[in-house]
Amino acid sequence: MSERFVIVGGGTAGWLAALMLRDAFKRQKRDAVVIVVESSKIPAIGVGEGTTAVFRQMLKYFDLDEFAFLKDTEATIKFGIRHRDWRRLRHSYDGPIDDPHLVLEQQGAAPQSYLDIFSVAAGRPVKDTHLFGYLLDQHKAPWAWKPDGTPVAMSPFHHAFHFDQALAGKWLRKHAKGVETIDAQVSGARRDVETGDIEALITGAGEVEGDFFIDCTGFRKSLITGVLGGAWVSYRNILPVNRAMPFWVDLKDGEEIPPFTLAWAQGSGWLWSIPTQTRYGMGYVYSDEFLTPGKAKEEIEVALGHAIEPRNDLRFDIGRQKDAWINNCLALGLSSSFLEPLEATSIHGSVVQLMVFTNYHLNRTPEDRNAYNAFAARQVDDFRDFINMHYVSERRDTPFWKHVAEKNIGAPAKERLERWQGKMPEYSDFEPLPGRFAHTEQQLYYPVLDGLGLLNRGVAQRHMERSPELRKKAKTAADSLTAEYRSSAPKAIGHRAFLQSL
C-alpha cells in the first residue's frame, strides 16, 4: 500500500510542502501519496510578505514561470531591505541580497569577503559593489529590453519577491499536481497508545489516516502543540517585539514601485512596508510592554501622515518549537517558528527545511528525526542572532530603545561584535549549515554591520596592508564593478513598467 503523507494547512508552508514532497517521491520513484487537509473557514495569514532568493531558485527548480508568478500573484521584485532610522534617527542603510563575490574569481586563500573588507578600509559603503544597490535606488527591474523587445537578465544574481502569501499559496496550489485535497477542519487526532504516533486526524469530514503528518496550521499549531504537546523555546529575552498591527495602503496611480522592503524603526518597534502591484502591505511590529495598540496606531498615523485601518491585531511569542519533529509529525512554517519579519527568514526557512527533509530524512528513522531537529533549531537560532544584530543601535530616544540596549542584545551578538573589533568578519566565522544551504552568513552580515557603523575601519586597513597584492586586486575589482553598475543600472527597465509589461 502507498505511504500516506498528510499535510494540514493550505497556506504557503502547506503548499510548498506538497510541491516538494511530490517532487521528491517522483525523483525517488517512491510509492507515496500526498494529501492536503485545509480549512476554507480559516484564512491563511497574508500580510504582505518578502522572500529571499531561495524562493526564486525554487520556482526555477520546478520549472515554474517566474513571469507568470509575478503576474498572477501581483508580486513585485525585491533587491533587498532599506533600514531606516535603525542606527539613529534620519539615518538609512540598505541591505542588498546579491553577493558581489559570486561574480569574482576567488583570490587564492583570500577571504570571500575581501571586496567588503576593501570597501570598509577605503571608507566606502559596501553597497557600492552591489548591483542590487543601484537597481534598488533607481526603482528598476533586473531586466533590460533587447532590441527585439524581449527582456534580458541584467546579472546572474537571484533577486527575491514581495507578495501577498495568501495569493502565492493559491498559486502554488494550482501548480502542485497530483495532490489530494480535503476541505475540513482538524479537531484532534487518534494516536497509537504505545508509541504516541498519530494514526488518523479527526475532522468534520471523517477520519484521515496517514503514515506521516506535516503541521502547517500556522499560529494555531494544531498538531505539534495541540495534539503532541510540543514545547516552545521563546526568544523573548533577545527579540523584544510581540505584537503586529498589519494594514494596507493603496498604491497611487502611476506611482513607481520600490523594489525593496522598507523596515522603518519606530519608537517601540518597527514598521514594514512591502509593495505588491496594487498596494503596500504594511504593519507595525512592536512591544506591548511599551505601547498600547491605540498608541501604536496613533504613532504610525503620525509617521505616515494619514489615518490607517488596522486589519488585525496579532500577538505572538517569538521563538521556535524545541523539536520541530515529534513522533510522526513535523511542524513547518508558522507552527514551527516565528521571528519578526525583519530579514524575511520565515518562508526562506520553510523552503530550506523542506529541502533538508526531502533530501536526507524521508526514511524517518529516529536518527533522521534527531538530525532534522538539530538542523531546524540551529537554523532558526542563527536567524535570531542575525536579527538581534540589527538592534545594536545608537538610539536611546525612547524607553523601548533604552531597554533594547540594556537588556536585549544576546550573548552571540555580543561575542561576535567583540571578535570583530579585532578582525574583520569572514566566511570562516560562520559554521556552514549541513548541506551548505543558503544561510545568514558574512554576505548578509556585511551590509548590516556596515550600515550600523559596527565595523572597524582601522582593522580593515591593517587587513589590506598585510597583502598589497590582494588590496590591488580588490581595488581593481571594486572600481570596475562600481563603474559597470553605475553605467548599466540606468539601462534596466523601470520596476512598474516591467510589471505592467507582463
Ligand X SMILES: Cc1cc2nc3c(=O)[nH]c(=O)nc-3n(C[C@H](O)[C@H](O)[C@H](O)COP(=O)(O)OP(=O)(O)OC[C@H]3O[C@@H](n4cnc5c(N)ncnc54)[C@H](O)[C@@H]3O)c2cc1C
State the catalytic residues: 78
Question: Which residue of 104, 120, 186, 214 would you call a contact of ligand X, by CB under 6 A?
Answer: 186
Does 393 sit near ligand X (CB under 6 A)? no
Question: Which residue of 50, 95, 133, 267 would you call a contact of ligand X, by CB under 6 A?
Answer: 50
Does 13 sit near ligand X (CB under 6 A)? yes
Q: Which residues pair with 390 in a beta bridge?
A: none
Bin 166: left if φ > 0, else alpha if -120 < ψ < 50, else beta. Answer: alpha
Does 378 sit near ligand X (CB under 6 A)? no
Q: What is the DSSP string of 44-92?
A: ---S-EE--HHHHHHHHHTT--HHHHHHHTT-EEE-EEEEESSSSTT-E
* Candidate ranges 74-82, 136-144, 214-222, 455-463; the one touching ligand X (CB under 6 A): 214-222
Question: Which residue of 120, 334, 448, 493 would you call a contact of ligand X, by CB under 6 A?
Answer: 334
Please count the other Cβ atoms lying within 10 Å of the Cβ belonging to residue 400.
Answer: 22
**Cα–Cα nearest to 278, from 56, 41, 74:** 74
Question: Which residue of 5, 7, 14, 372 would you call a contact of ligand X, by CB under 6 A?
Answer: 14
Does 39 sit near ligand X (CB under 6 A)? yes
- Give the number of residues written for the chain: 502
Does 230 sit near ligand X (CB under 6 A)? no
**Cα–Cα nearest to 97, from 448, 364, 384:** 448
Does 11 sit near ligand X (CB under 6 A)? yes
Does 179 sit near ligand X (CB under 6 A)? no
Question: Which residue of 142, 319, 333, 451 would you call a contact of ligand X, by CB under 6 A?
Answer: 333
Report how far apart, in Å, the C-alpha atoms of 178 and of each of 20, 58, 133, 149, 162 are: 12, 19, 41, 37, 28
Report how far apart, in Å, the C-alpha atoms of 102 and of each of 130, 151, 157, 450 are: 11, 23, 8, 20
Closer Cβ to ligand X, 175 or 475, answer by number: 175
Q: How far is the CB of 461 from ligand X (least distance, A)?
A: 37
Does 308 sit near ligand X (CB under 6 A)? no
CA dihedral 50, 51, 56, 57 (to 10 degrees): 170
Question: Which residue of 220, 378, 403, 475 would you call a contact of ligand X, by CB under 6 A?
Answer: 220
Q: How far is the CB of 440 from ligand X (least distance, A)?
A: 13
Cβ–Cβ under 8 Å, residues 274 and 50: yes
Q: How far is the CB of 441 from ligand X (least distance, A)?
A: 18
Question: Which residue of 22, 38, 154, 372 would you call a contact of ligand X, by CB under 6 A?
Answer: 38
Does 6 sit near ligand X (CB under 6 A)? no
Q: What is the DSSP string of 359-371?
A: HH-TT--HHHHHH
Question: Which residue of 6, 7, 8, 121 would you call a contact of ligand X, by CB under 6 A?
Answer: 8
* Candidate ranges 46-54, 62-70, 438-446, 447-455; the one touching ligand X (CB under 6 A): 46-54
Question: Which residue of 283, 319, 410, 425 would you call a contact of ligand X, by CB under 6 A?
Answer: 283
Closer Cβ to ligand X, 61 or 427, answer by number: 61
Closer Cβ to ligand X, 334 or 470, answer by number: 334
Q: How far is the CB of 390 from ligand X (least distance, A)?
A: 14
**Cα–Cα nearest to 96, from 467, 450, 498:** 450
Total residues contacting ligand X by CB under 6 A comes to 37
Does 244 sit near ligand X (CB under 6 A)? yes
Segment (H or E) for 252? none
Does 172 sit near ligand X (CB under 6 A)? no
Question: Which residue of 45, 58, 356, 413 would you call a contact of ligand X, by CB under 6 A?
Answer: 45
Give dist(CA 287, CA 492) in Å, integer: 40
E strands, 184-338, where? 186-191, 198-203, 206-209, 212-215, 232-234, 243-250, 261-266, 269-275, 279-286, 314-315, 319-321, 325-326, 329-331, 337-338
**Cα–Cα nearest to 100, from 122, 134, 137, 132:** 132
User: Which chain residues interact with ligand X by CB under 6 A?
Assistant: 8-14, 37-39, 42, 44-45, 47, 49-51, 165, 185-186, 216-218, 220, 222, 244, 246, 283, 314, 333-335, 341, 344, 346-348
